[in-house]
Each structure stands twice: as C-alpha cells, then as structure tokens.
Amino acid sequence: MKKITIDPITRLEGHGKIEIFLNDEGNCEWATLQIPELRGFEKFSEGRAAEEMPRITTMICGVCPTAHHMAATKALDDLWKVEPTTAAKKIRELMYNAFQAEDHILHFFFLGGPDFVVGPQAPAGERNVLGVIAKAGLEAGGKVIEMRKRMRNVLRIIGGKPVMPTCGLPGGVSKQISEDERKTIIEAGEYGVDFCKFALSLFDDIVLKNKEYVDLVTGDVYSHRTYYMGLVDENNKVNFYDGQIRVVDPNGKEFAKFKVQNYLDHIREHVEPWTYVRFSYLKKVGWKGFVDGEESGVFRVAPLARLNVSDGMATPLAQEAYDKMYETLGGKPVHSTLAFHWARLVEALYASERVLELANDPDITSDDIVNLPTETPKEGIGVVEAPRGTLIHHYQTDDQGILTGVNLIVATQNNSAAINMSVEKAAKALIKKGNVPDGILNMIEMAFRAYDPCHACATHSLPGMMPLEVSVYDSKGELIKRLRRD
C-alpha cells in the first residue's frame, strides 16, 4: 500500500502533517491529519494560583491569547462565585469583540481568503495576501493593515499588550477606560464597521458573482452533515462572550442547550495513539469514528457552526449579512465547509458593530470595574467563543485557590474529528487510480484551512500559503514521487 505524506515543512515535525494511504487500485483508502505537538498545560497548571491562569493560558496561543485570557477570567468568576460589575462585563465584551474582528480579518485576508479572492486554481505564487491586494487594489491592502492596527490598539488600551493581555481578574478587570481612550475605541469601531462592509462587498463581487466559486462552496467535496455547537444569548443570537451553549443536529433542529457548568453531561473526548490532539464528540450520541450524520457524535464549531446554531445576529448590519448568506446557500443549516469563510465575515461585521455599541455605552468608562471575591473557591468553569470555536476552561482548587485539576477544551479539539474527515473526503475525491495531481496540494489544504485550525497556530501562515510537500511512497517505503509547492 502506498503512503503519501503532506508535511507542512514550514513546521518541520511541527504541528500538522497529512498522511494519505492508497489501496491496491491506487485510490485513497484513508487519510488523516496528525498533530505532533503537545505542551501539557493541563498538567503544569496544577499547583499554580488560580488567579494567574488568565496570564498563563494566554501562552497556549499567541494568535488567540485573548480567547484563553477571557475563558480563564470567566472560569475565575465561577470559581469564586463572584459576579463581575456591569462595567467590567462590558469592558471585557468590548475587548473580546475587538479581538474577534481583528482575528477574523487576519484569517480572511491573509489565510483563507486568497483561495477565493485570487482563486483556487491561481498559481501558488499569487495565492497569498499580495495576490489579494493585487486583485482587490492597493487601497484595500492598506485598509487591511489599518483595520488590524486599530483593533489591536483597542486590545493594547484595555489589556496592556495585544499579544498576552493581562487585565482579567475574578469579578472584573484591572483597568478602567478613560474618556480619551473611549474616543479612540469609537473610531476603531467605526473603521471596523466600514471595513467589514467593504470586505463583504468584495466577497460579493469576487466570489458570489463567479459561478465556479459558488459551485465549489456548495459542492459535495467540501460538505459534511454534522452536529453544530456555539454560544447564544437569551434570544438565541450569536454571542462570543457569554450565554448558553446550543447544539443543533444535522437537520438544524435544537439537540441541546445548556450552561457551560453542565458541559460534562454533553462533551466527551476520544484518544487516538497516532496524534497528540484529543477528539471531542457529543456524549449523548457517542463516538462512532470519523464519520458524519445523525448517528455520529462528531460536531463542528467556529463561525459557520455559530451561525447554524443561532437564530440570527444581535446587530442590524450583521443580521442583513446573515440573512443573505442563508438565502444564497439555501437555508439552515449550511453544511459546506467552505462557507466558514463567509460566516467569518458576517461575524467580523457583528464584532465591529458590537465594539461600537459598547464603546458608546455610558458604563464603559465607569470606575466600578471589580467586585472582590468573598467565597471559598472550589470549582469553576468558563466558556467563550474563540474565533475558532467553543473554548472551555475548567478549574478545581483547594480552599486557598491553588489549582488541583485543570481541563481545557480548546476550540480546535472540537473540530479535530471533522477536520480529519474533511481531509479524507477531499483526498478520496481527488486521488484516483494512483494519479496524484499537483492541484491536490491546495485542494486538500483548503479542506482544513476553512476551519482556521489553531494547532498552536501552526497553520497561521501569514501570507495565506503554507508550503506543502507531498511524498508518495510505494509499499516498501521507497520514494517514487515528490511534489512540492513553493
């Protein structure tokens, strides 16, 4: 049996490697994405003071530190049973939405977007952020940089520094927002809303008006009928910062809705010996392997999943964009993996609108930013929607608040089974009779890039192009073909 390895040689033995096994007919028998990386935060956090977790778990991921910072901070609220002040909740949510907007835009323009904007069949050398700028115009490139700069400045104002923010405390935040800072944040929010409208119109012009792209989005190669999970507010609208976890089945029907404190009733994880990542599944459906459908507990998270589980968006412009997406794609739920990109833009618009709303809120500059804990700590669970999906931190402590048990359900763990399935499906569709076309590199890459997987940020290759190498081995392990995309 032949084995094909797609190794993101950018990471050497880094954080993601695709293995494809061919059968005697030369068709794909099985394909999988391995994660050869582990750091063990669940273990080495034991013994630490719980209040330090927002400043330790940020280092899980330097691209999404704000997500871990916020999940940890909310777990501390629950650990000490302390309700944050009204202003503190708003400051946190404001910071969190600025982060979502900035991160989503980074992904769309630098990582996933090039596949669409420049085109999946375009030469690899053009399929990067420079190619996007060439197609969308130089002015657009400047806007992308400006958007990121402004939103990251909001993170700096509230959290100290965008990479590794520090402001979260049980019951609140450490720093008040000044009136001058509020003005800067309002300007960033206004810029963000305009920018996201522009990004959606760009998507409209370049992707939706091109039948080839629409066929790709709606086609079967990139589709899986799975369950979906995401946070919703009291009106079942998408919320990144707080709410209940809602799960819908592959038909879009509500399957479960629960507070994160009850997550153990709903989420379980499966272990495989060939990868360091754990695979989440729905406990009540069960682990049936890497398969989709109603009988399989595999679920998906992240932008498309959030839109699928919700009844809409809580801000007006994002709601319009939401309606348009489902109208175009034929109603809810949408199962096409490539629609994650579109959903990401809808969410970036919501996040920007929410930044603006919160920045204009009279409470946002209040000095009442923390409630001091008085209860004895024991156990706390926190959840946020990371850009890449539902993220849960679960802490147990002694009565001094020293950690005795830590569990982390990271967004990409939740998607990891589905990512494997998407890679396998693309490989099966594209490899026939031992014929491994050069185009397979990008087509398979597209299958997992849509999830924006964050295996310690391995796939956040900045120009939107992760150089890949495919090696084809015969049954004796001899190299018979090597494809390389520069």
Binding residue (CB under 8 A) for other proteins from 257, 407, 429, 434: 407
Q: Which two tokens stand for residue 300?
A: 């998906």
Using the rule CB under 8 A, is 162 a contact of other proteins?
yes
What's the closest the beta carbon of residue 312 comes to other proteins, in angstroms? Answer: 30
382: contact with other proteins by CB under 8 A:
no
Q: Does 275 bind other proteins (CB under 8 A)?
A: yes
Amino acid type, 284: K
C-alpha distances in Å from residue 169, one per residue of 175, 263, 369: 10, 23, 10
Q: Is 141 in the site for other proteins (CB under 8 A)?
A: no
267 binds other proteins (CB under 8 A): yes
Q: How many residues lie near other proteins (CB under 8 A)?
A: 92
Element (H, E) at 342: helix 339-359
Residue nearer to other proteins on the CB measure, 251 or 404: 404
Residue (101 or 325) nearer to other proteins, CB: 101
Which residue carries 């998270």 as its tokens?
301
Q: How far is the CB of 18 from other proteins (least distance, A)?
A: 11
Please identify, among the stretches 148-156, 179-187, 338-346, 431-439, the one whose residues bind other proteins according to the rule CB under 8 A. 148-156
Task: Report, in Å, the least distance between residue 355 CB and other proteins.
Answer: 19
C-alpha 467: how far from chain center: 21
Q: Which residues contact 405 (CB under 8 A, 6 or more apart)?
A: 46, 394, 395, 396
Applying CB under 8 A, among 123, 137, 160, 439 the residue interacting with other proteins is: 160
DSSP-derived 3-state class of residue 329: helix
CB of 407 to other proteins, least distance (A): 4
Relative to beta strand 403-409, strand 267-270 is unpaired
Residues 313, 20: Cα–Cα separation, whole Å: 40
21 binds other proteins (CB under 8 A): yes
Tell me the window of 35-43, 189-197, 206-214, 328-336 that interacts with other proteins (CB under 8 A).
Answer: 35-43
Q: Is 291 in the site for other proteins (CB under 8 A)?
A: no
Write out the binding residues for other proteins, residues 343-372 only, by CB under 8 A: 370, 372
126 within 8 A of 403, measured Cβ to Cβ: no
The stretch near other proteins (CB under 8 A) out of 149-157, 187-195, 310-318, 324-332 is 149-157
Among the listed residues 190, 204, 272, 294, the single contact to other proteins using CB under 8 A? 272
- Regarding 401 and contact with other proteins (CB under 8 A), the answer is yes
Is residue 378 within the footprint of other proteins (CB under 8 A)?
A: no
Task: Select from 30-38, 234-242, 321-329, 339-347 the region that touches other proteins (CB under 8 A).
Answer: 30-38
Reduced to 3 states (helix: H, G, I; strand: E, B; else coil), residue 141 is helix
Question: Which letter, b or e, does each residue of 67-89 get, where b requires 16 or more Cβ atoms within 10 Å of its Cβ?
Answer: bbbbbbbbbbbbbbbbebbebbb
Nearer CB in complex with other proteins: 170/243: 170
- CB 175 → other proteins: shortest distance, Å? 5
- Neighbour tally for 137: CB within 10 Å: 12
The interface with other proteins within residues 47-66 (CB under 8 A) comprises 47-49, 51-52, 55-56, 59-63, 65
The verdict on 164 binding other proteins (CB under 8 A) reads yes
Contacting other proteins within 203-232 (CB under 8 A): none
Asked if residue 353 lies in contact with residue 317, where contact means CB atoms within 8 angstroms, the answer is: yes
Q: Which residues contact 425 (CB under 8 A, 6 or more apart)?
A: 221, 222, 224, 447
Residue 138 found at the interface with other proteins (CB under 8 A): no
Short-list 381, 384, 385, CA closest to 406: 381
The one among 287, 312, 363, 471 contacting other proteins by CB under 8 A: 287
Long-range residue pairs from 317-325, CB within 8 A, at least 24 positions apart, any chain: 317/193, 317/197, 317/349, 317/353, 318/346, 318/347, 318/349, 318/350, 318/353, 321/200, 321/345, 321/346, 321/349, 322/346
435 Cα distance to chain centroid: 33
Q: Which of residues 442-471 bind other proteins (CB under 8 A)?
A: 456-457, 460-463, 467
